A and B are shown apart, each in its own frame.
Chain A
Amino acid sequence: MKKLRIGSGAGYAGDRLEPALELMEKGNLDYISFECLAERTIAIAQQQKQLNPEKGYNGLLEHRMEKVLPLAHKNKIKVITNMGAANPQSAVNVICKMAEEMGLKGLKVAGVFGDDVFDKLDNYKNVTVWENGKPLSELDGEVISANVYMGIDGIVKALENGADIIVTGRVSDPALFLAPLVYEFGWDINNYDLMGKGTLIGHLLECGGQVTGGYYAEPGKKNVERPWDLGFPIIEVSENGDFIVTKVEGSGGLVTKDTCTEQMIYEIHNPEEYFTPDCIADFSKVTFENIGKDIVRVKGATGREKTDTLKVSLGYKDCFIGEGEISYGGPNCYERAKLAALIVEKRLALTNVKYDELKIDFIGINGIYKNNNRKYNTPEEVRVRVAARTKSKYDAVQIGNEVETLYTNGPAGGGGATKSVSEIVSVASILIPRNDVEAKVIYREV
């Protein structure tokens, strides 16, 4: 029976590169996919494209392709990635230029797009925004991008036309992995049992090392071998959708039913209905079985018919966030830290700084957890963090400044002050009819 081996080369935009190269050298792969496009990354990429029409693809594209292209060419591994971001067309040109400079011949590079619906937003003015329940026309903040999560169509088409390297804009993360299965095995896209199985494959692979012992270690309880050498995952799939999860022998990390269980439940809500553009996947009956060292057999995924809508992710200019931090230590440090926070609050009021929300954390005491009923032991050091959301950049700047002035004006012994200001592009979501969207593909050969 025909089998296919797919590797995951990245779990997020800035992920490690060496494990991907290790997979391409030693993983006996047919395909490798790189998931590099977080929710609002595309909005920021859109802004870059506005400044320079040749930009707007992932900033690490060249860095990755410099090492990936020669290996893909040598070992005949097809590469699929969403590093095209806001500009897959330009990413195709960059890749072709790099391949030419490297002297690589016989590569067909495809760009998949059609996800950008920014120009059609007028048609959706009355559509309800998930996040606030109001019509899109009432969204508070300038919309700067609108991209549909597309399914597998464009990638499958590119594969049918012989593409070796495929760069996409926004597609669902699992689609990067499901598409080659549909193409290679000739799966019927209306066979939702198979679509569900393929979606689980994508879901387990899309976060890279998170299924091979990354984001897992708990010293003494969940030990991970050489996490600095963490191997990225490989899934070997049979034509009927049965599959195993594994990694390159000798690499760091581990693959067990426990690592797989953690990753399967990661970012899903109701396990019976995981909505994707290609099916509603059902993971509720999935089982994992350890069948060898770092080999897990997975069974039981299925799915139901896809919905007739697709999700659009809108990036909009939302607000500014200003932050400042300063540390106190030694006897009575928590009291000095609390006084520092009080001084900042009073100063912001005195100087008439406007903010929508202010947050004060005492890092070491309640920096990441809030539980007002809990008693804390006196810490040996504590870091005050003040953060506020503002409408103007000027006000955001004052937050960090008022923390910094604690150096010469605040309680005794404050040290290590830092400050920052960020312009926040937020994400809102709407659903639009599936039929409004059509994937487009361009090709270039070297």
Chain B
Amino acid sequence: MKLWDIAHSRTGDKGNISNVSLIAYDIKDFELLKEKVTVEVVKEWFKDIVKGEVKRYELPQLGALNFVMNDALGGGVTRSLALDKHGKSLSSYLLDIEI
């Protein structure tokens, strides 16, 4: 299955840093997300977009993970050449990961 089947997501931006949440619809799936969606998996998935370090924060009581991806927005929102300068659509891309 894809992450899309069991989780939802939203992206935020600050400068050249993108943060992408991953929230289980059913909190019972949180352990599975924690196990499968590691920093390494996310780094590999976004490797042609994200050039910097990826960090993962856990919010177990909300069934949520927060991935903070550095050097992810083509130099930052103001000067990026990307069509989606804010990286708003990266959330949907995360949900395309097969687990």
Chain A residues engaging chain B, CB cutoff 8 angstroms: 39-40, 130-131, 215-216, 218, 221-222, 257-258, 261-271, 284-288, 300, 318-319, 321, 357-359, 361, 363, 367-372, 385, 387-389, 424-427, 429
Contact = CB atoms under 8 A, between A and B. Distances in A.
Given A262-B10, A286-B62, 9 more contacts: A222-B8, A258-B23, A262-B9, A263-B10, A267-B13, A271-B57, A288-B62, A388-B81, A426-B79
Given A131-B15, A267-B13, A389-B81, A258 B8 contact: yes
Contact of B78 (A258, A270, A426): A426
Interface string B47-85: 011000001010101101010100000111111011110
Contacts of B66: 265, 268-269, 271
A286 to B, nearest CB: 7
Contact of A426 (B12, B25, B76): B76
B61 A285 contact: yes
Contacts of B19: 265-269
A303 to B, nearest CB: 17
The A interface is mostly helix, strand or loop, or mixed, namely mixed
7 contacts: A265-B10, A266-B21, A321-B79, A357-B81, A359-B74, A388-B81, A389-B81
A267 B14 contact: yes
Nearest to B63: A261
Contacts of A216: 10
B62 A40 contact: no
Contacts of A288: 62
Given A262-B23, A265-B64, A369-B89, A284 B81 contact: no
A363 B83 CA distance: 9
B8 A130 contact: no
B49 A287 contact: no
Interface size band for B = 35 or more
B3 interface: no
A343 to B, nearest CB: 19
A268 B78 contact: no
B42 to A, nearest CB: 13
Contacts of A387: 81
Interface string B12-39: 1111110101010100000000000000
Given A261-B64, A265-B64, A130 B81 contact: no
A361 B8 CA distance: 27
A263 B64 CA distance: 12
A367 B92 CA distance: 14
A269 to B, nearest CB: 5
A232 B45 CA distance: 35
A285 to B, nearest CB: 7
A300 B59 CA distance: 12
A393 B37 CA distance: 44
Contacts of A284: 59
Contacts of A321: 79, 81
B82 to A, nearest CB: 7
Contacts of A427: 15, 76, 78
B62 A39 contact: no
B59 A265 contact: yes
A131 B14 contact: no
